[in-house]
Amino acid sequence: MTELHDLDALTLATALRRGDTSATDVLEHTLERAERIGPTVGAFVTLTPDLARGQARAADDALAAARRDGSTDALPPFLGVPLPIKDLTMVAGVPMSAGSAALRGFVPPVDDGVVTLLRDAGTVMPGKTNTPELGLPPYTEPDVAPPARTPWDLTRSAGGSSGGAAAAVASRIVPVAHGNDGGGSLRIPASTTGLVGLKPSRGRVSWGPHAVDGVGLAAHGVLTRTVRDTAAFLDVLAVNRPGDTFVAPGGAGPAGTYLAACDVVPRPLRVGVLVTPVIADDAEVDPACLHAVDHAVALLDRLGHAVAEAPVPFPAEDWGAFAALWSVGALSAPVPEDAELLLTPLTRWLRATGREQSGLVFAQAVAGMQRLTQQVAAAWDAFDVVLTPTLAQLPAPVGSMRDDADPAGDFAAQTRFTPWTSIANLTGRPSVSLPLGWAEGAATGDAGGDLPVGVMLTGRLGDDALLLALSAQLEAADPWTSRVPTVG
């Protein structure tokens, strides 16, 4: 018999509608696992059992009434499904530290817009997930919580900055978790934990009404175990609000919804393949990451797609625009002056670097970001999708990248670990990490065990539906959900 925690979000939502289980039973099962497994993998910073139980009881009442009336089709799509929120995002009345001792004690007065959308979709919030300070590094090792670890090997990091979210989904505490991605923060932990992580096109998901998207590097999304779950939650989140700075072109396309797009067999696509590191030309690429791309190429070829080598779209030194914008973004965080010393050395270094950027330099960085967008569009114009490794290395050992004694070296190591992900953030393109690769026997411990290795597909701006259709086709050709981590 399948356990509740093994069900994906869509299957669980269907079971709840049929009355096979109740939202209350699902939540209690979730909370038990969150309390038992969560600390081991560093998934949560805050559990909200009272809030969640009230939401679950309300969901059960609505489900019972709809079954009596025969109107379950009118229910919110994920009524009763547990979904935690990343602790960079406001939930009214729930403490939010954003991974920082400097922000402890802040209790948001309102829900962020994406939280409202997810709540309106019927989800139940069991807690807030772990994130590094201000979501800045690609590892989740904050001073205010234990490190987030991949359940495939507890000596290794779950990545970041949505590391706690990934740990919660991969260890089967929840079927789906909210996250966001400003330089790879959904795709990086998806790769390290064997999940699906989609960064939508810039302007696909609104940051309003309480937040703005600044220069447009970051996007909200989810981490899931299946492409269809990811698509279904994009249907929930793909809402634009009055006054949005960015609005993505296209949409769900002829299928009508992103979930329906997963059932569309994509036309033969032109797929570019790039395994040369871009933003850090001194990065070494682990053979397992290259093998994962080779495996994806073989699948694409078998499915009838045309695969060819893609060029490096810009020289590594041109990536300085991202570094400048990133440091100014760190500086713009609302940290009280008297709390600056509570920040990690990396954050203090980034904020100091941000203070060195003049108005002219910042304007030049914004222009540089726009020029890079043009360069990438020209370099990759021949391709519908570009395939790369998600990361250059296997999941990093906990503590191996964070370097408080040398934050500049820490940041440089981050670029070598993630030499492709931020291209999609700079250009606004949709990009997804899929767990198509596995490093056999690479995990530590007596049993060894395999480690997940993500490959990344990056599409044209607005082509989220096509990217999901291709991802679903690849998942069907080489399913991954039967693999279960050692923890969970």
Residue 423: CATH number of its domain: 3.90.1300.10
Asked if 205 and 221 touch (Cβ cutoff 8 Å), the reply is yes
Asked if 358 and 328 touch (Cβ cutoff 8 Å), the reply is no
Give the span between the Cα atoms of 23 and 30, in whole angstroms.
10
CA angle in degrees (0–180, nearest 5) for 391-396-402: 110
Average pLDDT of span 351-360: 97
Average pLDDT of span 245-262: 96
Indicate if the pLDDT at residue 167 is higher than 80: yes
Active-site entry in 100, 157, 162, 185: 185
pTM: 0.98
Total number of domains in the chain: 1
Mean per-residue pLDDT of the chain: 97
In a domain, residue 484? The reply is no
Active-site entry in 22, 97, 157, 161: 161
What single-letter DSSP state applies at residue 72? G
In a domain, residue 482? The reply is no
In a domain, residue 169? The reply is yes
In a domain, residue 133? The reply is yes
What share of the chain has pLDDT > 70, as a percent?
Answer: 99
In a domain, residue 462? The reply is yes
| Other Cβ atoms within 10 Å of 340 Cβ, number | 13
- The per-residue pLDDT for range 169-215, each reduced to its tens digit, is 999 999 999 999 999 999 999 999 999 999 999 999 999 999 999 99
End-to-end CA distance of the chain: 17
pLDDT at 272: 99
Average pLDDT of span 99-115: 97
Indicate if the pLDDT at residue 366 is higher than 90: yes
**Which are the contacts of 339, defined by CB distance < 8 A and separation ≥ 6?**
101, 102, 103
pLDDT at 2: 79
What share of the chain has pLDDT > 90, as a percent?
Answer: 98
Active-site entry in 22, 86, 157, 191: 86
Q: Which band of pLDDT confidence, cut at 50, 70 and 90, is reported for residue 447?
A: low
Indicate if the pLDDT at residue 444 is higher than 90: no
Residue 471 annotated among the catalytic residues of the structure:
no
pLDDT at 445: 65
Indicate if the pLDDT at residue 1 is higher than 60: no
In a domain, residue 486? The reply is no
Closest CA to 49 of 130, 127, 123: 127
Q: Domain range for residue 421?
A: 4-477
Residue 100 annotated among the catalytic residues of the structure:
no
pLDDT at 446: 60
Residue 161 annotated among the catalytic residues of the structure:
yes
